[in-house]
């Protein structure tokens, strides 16, 4: 009887939503690590995963998104806990070209570890971060008309001294050009322009009508008009590709240069490699990584080797997504 009652409650709960989507991943990664100085070798097996739940009502005017991830500490005995990340949303107004949405929770704005599309992230990669997903209440204004689309979000965040503060994030796309701007803690600006971050990307393949190729340039910048220097940090680079070969290059304000290549010429196996020079004034110091990835049944495999000058790592990641 109790099992039947639980089943009925579950059915009623699911019936309240027009669409409930469950997705997630599970990673199991055996890893062998060799350290040159002092000489040592270790073996570990990492287990990580996450569950994502997204739901909306029948007319898709309200909904939520939540990510649930386990955390296991290295203490003895290991401690186990769950972490949660998510938000709720409600459309206040909607038409063919204009939508206003109220959001509350962990709301993303900006760019986290932005870089070239082909980097494997097996080694430290040149990247750009100007980002927050702290809890906030926000209004999102989406406009679309032909090739033009614009999304403006205004976030109200807690502030220890001002009670509240304001973040603003806008992204615009028109044809082959995409831009973005992020202003955080807007109320802290008492005079002049506040610090802000910008992004811009140009899809030259689309602009030149080049079929079957990728040619995209991108740049990210943080600017403080009252700072010295005014340009606080930046990342510039490009993604290129033709047929079964693709590559990325990225360079940042720390003089860090990264190059990544990958190919599907050996399909179903994808082979790739990354080279990163942490400082181009000393090109004898560099990081290397190479990998091969393929899929068998439900499991996606990636066998990788990386070297940072002192530590070599061989890792075999087995990933299941659902």
- Which pLDDT value is given to residue 5? 43
Length of the chain, please? 322
- Which pLDDT value is given to residue 61? 96
Indicate if the alpha-carbon torsion angle 306, 312, 314, 317 is positive or negative: negative
Domain count, the chain: 1
- pLDDT at residue 21 tops 60: yes
194 backbone φψ class: left, alpha, beta (φ>0; ψ -120 to 50) = beta
Average pLDDT over residues 136-165: 97
- pLDDT at residue 12 tops 80: no
- Which pLDDT value is given to residue 17? 64
- Which pLDDT value is given to residue 301? 98
- Which pLDDT value is given to residue 75? 64
CATH of the domain at 71: 2.40.160
Please state, rounded to an integer, the average pLDDT across all residues of the chain.
92
- Which pLDDT value is given to residue 4? 39
Confidence of residue 295 (pLDDT cuts 50, 70, 90): very high
Average pLDDT over residues 142-164: 96
β-pairing, 148-159 vs 40-56, is unpaired
Average pLDDT over residues 222-230: 95
Which domain does 183 fall in, by range?
2-321
- pLDDT at residue 270 tops 60: yes
Q: Structure tokens of 238?
A: 């490009």
Q: What is the DSSP string of 272-292?
A: EEEEEES-TT-TT--EEEEEE
Q: How many helices (H) and strands (E) does the chain have?
A: 2, 20
* Cβ–Cβ under 8 Å, residues 134 and 85: no
β-pairing, 98-106 vs 109-114, is unpaired
* Cβ–Cβ under 8 Å, residues 218 and 146: no
- Which pLDDT value is given to residue 262? 98
pLDDT tens-digit profile of 118-150?
999 999 999 999 999 999 999 999 999 999 999
Indicate if the alpha-carbon torsion angle 101, 107, 109, 113 is positive or negative: negative
Measured CA to CA, the distance from residue 305 to residue 273 in angstroms comes to 9
- pLDDT at residue 10 tops 60: no
DSSP 193: P
Rg of the chain in Å (alpha carbons): 23
pLDDT tens-digit profile of 55-100?
999 999 999 999 999 876 666 777 777 888 999 999 999 999 999 9
What are the contacts of 63-69 at 24+ separation with CB within 8 A? 63/88, 63/89, 64/88, 64/89, 65/89
pLDDT over 70 for what percent of the chain? Answer: 93
């Amino acid at each position: 009887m109790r099992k039947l009652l639980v089943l009925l409650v579950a059915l009623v709960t699911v019936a309240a939503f027009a669409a409930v989507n469950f997705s997630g991943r599970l990673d199991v990664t055996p890893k062998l690590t060799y350290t040159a100085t002092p000489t040592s070798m270790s073996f570990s097996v990492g287990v990580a995963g996450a569950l994502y739940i997204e739901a909306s009502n029948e007319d898709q005017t309200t909904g939520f998104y939540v990510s649930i991830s386990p955390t296991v500490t290295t203490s003895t005995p290991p401690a186990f806990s769950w972490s949660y990340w998510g938000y709720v949303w409600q459309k206040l107004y909607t038409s063919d070209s204009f939508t206003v949405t109220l959001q509350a929770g962990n709301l993303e704005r900006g760019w986290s570890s932005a870089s070239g599309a082909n980097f494997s992230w097996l080694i430290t990669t040149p990247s750009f971060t100007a980002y927050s997903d702290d809890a906030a209440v926000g209004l999102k204004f989406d406009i679309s008309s032909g090739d033009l689309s614009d999304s403006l979000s205004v976030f109200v965040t807690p502030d220890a001294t001002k009670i509240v503060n304001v973040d603003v994030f806008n992204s615009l796309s028109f044809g082959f050009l995409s831009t973005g701007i992020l202003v955080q803690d807007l109320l802290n600006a008492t005079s002049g322009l506040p610090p802000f971050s910008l992004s811009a990307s140009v899809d030259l393949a689309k602009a030149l009508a080049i079929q079957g190729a990728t040619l995209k340039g991108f740049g990210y910048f943080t600017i403080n008009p009252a700072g010295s220097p005014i340009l606080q940090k930046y990342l510039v680079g490009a993604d290129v590709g033709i047929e079964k070969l693709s590559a990325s290059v990225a360079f940042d304000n720390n003089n860090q240069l990264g190059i990544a290549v990958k190919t599907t010429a050996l399909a179903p196996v994808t082979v790739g490699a990354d080279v990163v020079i942490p400082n181009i004034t000393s090109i004898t110091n560099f990081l290397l990584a190479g990998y091969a990835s393929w899929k068998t049944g439900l499991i996606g495999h990636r066998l990788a080797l990386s070297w940072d000058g002192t530590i070599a790592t061989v890792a075999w990641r087995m990933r299941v997504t659902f």
